[in-house]
Amino acid sequence: MKNNAKKITLVAFAVAINIIGSKIALLFNLPIFLDSIGTMLAGMALGPIAGGLTALVGGLINGVLGDIYAIYFSFSGVLMGIIAGLLFYNKRIMISSILWKCLIVTVPASALSACIETFLFGGITSAAFTTFLVQALSQTALKLLGSAFLTQAVTDYVDKVIAIILVYQCMQRLPYELTHFDDIENNADTPKF
Which domains are delineated in the chain?
3-183 (1.10.1760.20)
- pLDDT number for residue 142: 95
Mean model confidence pLDDT for the chain = 90
CB of 44 within 8 A of CB of 167?
yes
Render 126-155 in DSSP notation, one character per residue: S-HHHHHHHHHHTTSTTHHHHHHHHHHHHH
* Residues 50-98 pLDDT 10s: 999 999 999 999 999 999 999 999 999 999 999 999 999 988 888 789 9
Checking if the pLDDT of 180 tops 60, the result is yes
**What is the helix (H) or strand (E) element at residue 182, kind and residue range?**
helix 181-186
Checking if the pLDDT of 1 tops 60, the result is no
* Residues 12-62 pLDDT 10s: 999 999 999 999 999 998 888 999 999 999 999 999 999 999 999 999 999
Distance between CA 125 and CA 152 in Å, rounded? 11
* pTM for this predicted structure: 0.89
Checking if the pLDDT of 5 tops 80, the result is yes
Distance between CA 68 and CA 60 in Å, rounded? 9
Checking if the pLDDT of 141 tops 80, the result is yes
